[in-house]
Amino acid sequence: MVVRKYCCYTVKLLKINNMKKLKLLFSAFVLFAFLNTAKAQQLEQEIISFVDDTEVLINNGRRMMLQYVQTSNFKRVAEIYHFLNERTSEKNCVAFTISEELHIAVLTNNWENFFAIAEHFSNMERINLCAPIHNNLLTRTLHLEVENNASQLFENALAADLTLKEKQLLELYFYVVQHGVDETYRRKLRAFRQQHSQSEYNHFVRNYLPDAPIRWAMGFSMGAIQVFPTGNLSSYFAPATGFQFSWDFNISRFYFGFQGDIASMRLNSPLLSSATGHHHNFQTGDRLLYETIMFSVGYTVMKNNRFELTPLIGIGGTTLRSNLYLPRYRNSELTVVNSFTVTPGLRAEFQLAQFQWYDWWRRTSMPSSINIRFDVGYNMPVRFQYTPARGNTLYARAGIVWWTGNL
């Protein structure tokens, strides 16, 4: 009995102790949760009440500047620019992007600042913005203002006391803002690099101004050809009009492509079997088929945004034969010439229109242009089957070409 009472007492004591521990643990948990909730609420209040005076100043200044740019009040633009620069100078950060800095400099005629940015461009690239830019409205507005007034702004620059190198750098900047990258820009950029290979602005030119990418393009052309026989060939055949087509490629100023011509040439004099050995007598007025297939290469010696001039040299084959039995019995035809041919020539192209061609398959757009093309050349076959008619052909081509690629 004594043992049983002792055991019951012990069990009750253990239960009491466990209850005390549970209460202590629960109290500690509640206290911990309360403290963390209080800290979270305190942190939340700190975040809500936190204000970055610099960021507010910059954002308000940029919005104010936008209004003055839109109203062309560039005196106020300059004041805001200098004020924000003074406030951010101690923080080793800036309020404007490099593009904005350049646009502001030219709009306010601050040429000294423009060239300072260009000269120290590598250092300015490393400086961070003081505040994130949430929209590009100011950037776009500044760019549009420079683009629309590029000619007048450049005249203002020419009136300032600038060196030739500084004027040429500004000319590059204004041209690319107004026109983008085209053949004139390529030429100006190439000239600047050649004249000022050791310039203090080289880093700016290489890393800020757009590079002139390698020009490549592919084109298709078709049109008409006029063939003029020369030498003894002209005694037998009259000039003929035919169809021509080509598949062309440009890489920078180098050209190569494939050219095909086809025409029906009318006889001026009869070709009798007694002279040709052929079983058929061809009379005056009969027609023979003239065909050429040519691989041409060339180099564009003159080029601007609307015109280009390219000397060519072509190698291929020329055929002049009857078409009585074509195509089944080709060997039964009278063949006047079927020979390897060398053809020097000259090509001129004039741009009619430029547009963006959208490739729905790849979902990309590509620059394209429609040009009018004129070719002249001299076709010199090496060997004639009918030697009394030996001669060359002078040709003139005209056609429409569609170019697509990096024009």
- On whether residue 222 sits in a domain, the answer given is yes
Helix, strand, or coil (residue 197): coil
- On whether residue 145 sits in a domain, the answer given is yes
One domain, residues 111 and 223: no
Q: Alpha-carbon distance 238 to 243, whole Å?
A: 16
- On whether residue 13 sits in a domain, the answer given is no
The pLDDT value recorded for residue 2 is 45
Q: Alpha-carbon distance 182 to 364, whole Å?
A: 20
Q: Alpha-carbon distance 38 to 4, whole Å?
A: 51
The pLDDT value recorded for residue 96 is 92
One domain, residues 274 and 311: yes
One domain, residues 392 and 366: yes
One domain, residues 265 and 339: yes
The pLDDT value recorded for residue 47 is 47
Q: Pick out the chain residues at pLDDT < 70.
A: 1-52, 326-330, 358-365, 407
Which amino acid is it at 395? Y
Distances from the Cα of 141 to the Cα of 100, 114, 174, 241, 379, angstroms: 10, 18, 16, 56, 58
- On whether residue 25 sits in a domain, the answer given is no
CATH of the domain at 356: 2.40.160.20
pLDDT tens readout for residues 185-236: 888 998 999 999 889 999 999 999 988 777 789 999 999 999 999 999 999 9
- On whether residue 42 sits in a domain, the answer given is no
One domain, residues 368 and 401: yes
Q: What's the token pair of residue 68?
A: 């003055």
The pLDDT value recorded for residue 366 is 79
- Which residues pair with residue 94 across a beta bridge? 129
Pairing of strands 302-303, 216-229: unpaired
One domain, residues 195 and 98: yes
Domain boundary among 172, 187, 207: 207
Cα 342 to chain centroid distance, Å, stands at 36
pLDDT tens readout for residues 282-309: 999 999 999 999 999 999 999 888 899 9
Q: What's the token pair of residue 199?
A: 């310039």
One domain, residues 329 and 362: yes
Which amino acid is it at 260? G
What's this model's pTM, rounded to 2 decimal places? 0.63
Pairing of strands 254-266, 302-303: unpaired
Q: Alpha-carbon distance 170 to 106, whole Å?
A: 9
- On whether residue 16 sits in a domain, the answer given is no
Cα 211 to chain centroid distance, Å, stands at 10
One domain, residues 234 and 299: yes
- On whether residue 1 sits in a domain, the answer given is no
One domain, residues 111 and 194: yes
The pLDDT value recorded for residue 11 is 47
One domain, residues 203 and 260: no
Please say whether the beta carbons of 196 and 209 come within 8 A: no
- On whether residue 31 sits in a domain, the answer given is no
In total, how many domains does the chain have? 2
Q: Alpha-carbon distance 214 to 209, whole Å?
A: 16
Q: For residue 106, give its domain range.
A: 55-207
Domain boundary among 207, 234, 256: 207
HSE-up (13 A, CA, CB side) for residue 282: 25
Q: Which stretches does DSSP call E strand in 236-334?
A: 240-251, 254-266, 287-299, 302-303, 307-321
Q: Alpha-carbon distance 16 to 333, whole Å?
A: 124
Q: Is 311 exposed, middle or buried (0-12, 13-18, 19+ CB in 10 A)?
A: middle
One domain, residues 260 and 327: yes
CA nearest 205: which of 195, 194, 193? Answer: 193
One domain, residues 336 and 377: yes
Please say whether the beta carbons of 137 and 168 come within 8 A: no
Domain boundary among 178, 207, 236: 207
Q: Alpha-carbon distance 294 to 334, whole Å?
A: 23
